[in-house]
Amino acid sequence: MMLAGMGAALVAAKAPPPEHVKPPRLRPGDIVGLVEPAGFTDDLFDLDVVKETIVAMGLKPKPARHLLERHGYLAGKDEDRAADLNAMFADREVKAVFAVRGGWGCARILPYLDFTTIRANPKLLIGFSDITALHMAFAARAGFTTIHGPNAASSWPRFSWDAFRAIAFDGATPLLTNPQAKEDRLVPLGGRIRTFGSGRASGRLLGGNLTVLTALMGTGWLPDFTGAILFLEDVDEAPYRIDRMLTQLSLAGVLRKLAGLVFGQCTSCGATGPSYGGFTLSQVLEQHLRPLGIPAFQGAAIGHVANQFSLPLGVRAEIDADAGSIRLLEPAVS
């Protein structure tokens, strides 16, 4: 019975998405759901900090029913994690849904999500890393904006909070540029960008974690990338694995459909060992991105870093590959 349900969900996922809808903006006092669709948090101290973070935003946290459960390295069984997400979108008093953390497991719950209910109740879904699987599925099937930004358990420094608040609360259309590095050097190293294709490009924002996104290739849970601005990030991946995944996107025809590409941060993705003789990450990106002939740059504040942008998926944006900037062309919320 489970296999039949999964097959039906996969067939449904291949249908064209509905017209893009903008969820309501967040307002002080709103109730927001806390879910763990992937990895677990089993320390009450950590969960207390998460709740206090939400309160500091001026919001009221509502933990999901299975929030403190654990099943191996997952935050409960697949059906239960999906049920929590379904319940939050069905709950009319919940105005947005925050993923507490990433890890691994979001792709496992896609066949159990009730997209009829989710589509009928557009609200912001916020998170990054493994939450990319949900962002991609929502872009393909739900048809409304989600936000690739800090998880609820992230540190939320001022830069990240200001970026999120401007988009989710204020409905602003900011120009996003890296924070200026404060280093005692003639030439600061932090916040630098590298351009692989000059110029500007506009299109709807799509993307997230490279590993998670490429793992969905061929599944039916990815949106159409034609004319999109694709943003990517990753963590703990050797350059050859980044090469392999970008090759997969190239062979699948995704890269040639794009209007522009932004590669954010690849945390702990350096060459291993002093005798390493392979390509560096920058060389791998040079090989894949420059031949595309589209505006493309590396180094945006996207990914597994404290200071990160909040990027609304499905919203039109313009990138300037020479300046290393991303400008929203429309609000993400209504």
Q: Beta strand pairing status for 260-267 and 296-298? A: parallel
Question: Each residue of 274-328: pLDDT tens digit?
Answer: 656 789 999 999 999 999 999 999 999 999 999 999 999 999 999 999 999 999 9
What does pLDDT average to over the chain?
93
pLDDT at residue 272, as a whole number: 67
Strand partners, 146: 313
Cα 235 vs. chain centroid, distance in angstroms?
Answer: 13
pLDDT band at 17 (very low <50, low <70, confident <90, very high): low
Residues 173 and 325: their CA atoms lie apart, in Å, by 13
- CATH 3.50.30.60: which residues of the chain? 175-328
pLDDT at residue 76, as a whole number: 97
Catalytic pick among 36, 160, 304, 325: 304
Query: Are 32 and 169 spatial neighbours (Cβ–Cβ below 8 Å)?
Result: no
For the segment 133-152, the average pLDDT, to the nearest whole number, is: 98
Residue carrying structure tokens 């291993």: 272
Q: Does the active-site annotation cover 19?
A: no
Q: Does the active-site annotation cover 52?
A: no
Q: Does the active-site annotation cover 129?
A: yes
pLDDT at residue 7, as a whole number: 44
Q: Using H for helix, E for strand and C for coil, what is the string for 152-169?
A: CCCCCCHHHHHHHHHHHC
Question: Each residue of 69-108: pLDDT tens digit?
Answer: 999 999 999 999 999 999 999 999 999 999 999 999 999 9
Residues 184 and 33: their CA atoms lie apart, in Å, by 42
Catalytic pick among 36, 66, 129, 310: 129
Query: Are 313 and 301 spatial neighbours (Cβ–Cβ below 8 Å)?
Result: no
Question: Each residue of 260-269: pLDDT tens digit?
Answer: 999 999 999 9
Local structure of 284: helix, strand or coil: helix
Sign of the Cα torsion 212, 310, 43, 66 reads negative
- CATH 3.40.50.10740: which residues of the chain? 20-156
Query: Are 328 and 317 spatial neighbours (Cβ–Cβ below 8 Å)?
Result: yes
pTM listed for this prediction:
0.93
Phi, psi of 53 (to 5 degrees): -65, -45
Catalytic pick among 233, 288, 318, 325: 233
Residue 147 has pLDDT above 90, yes or no: yes
Enclosing H/E stretch for 286 = helix 281-289
For the segment 226-253, the average pLDDT, to the nearest whole number, is: 97
pLDDT at residue 178, as a whole number: 96
pLDDT at residue 274, as a whole number: 60
Residues 52 and 50: their CA atoms lie apart, in Å, by 5
- Residue among 267, 225, 281, 325 nearest 102 (CA): 267
Question: Each residue of 23-61: pLDDT tens digit?
Answer: 999 999 999 999 999 999 988 899 999 999 999 999 999
Residue 145 has pLDDT above 90, yes or no: yes
For the segment 241-270, the average pLDDT, to the nearest whole number, is: 97
In percent, the amount of the chain with pLDDT more than 70 equals 93
Query: CATH code for 175-328?
Result: 3.50.30.60
> Cβ–Cβ contacts within 10 Å for residue 217, how many?
14
* CATH code 3.80.30.20 for 20-156: no
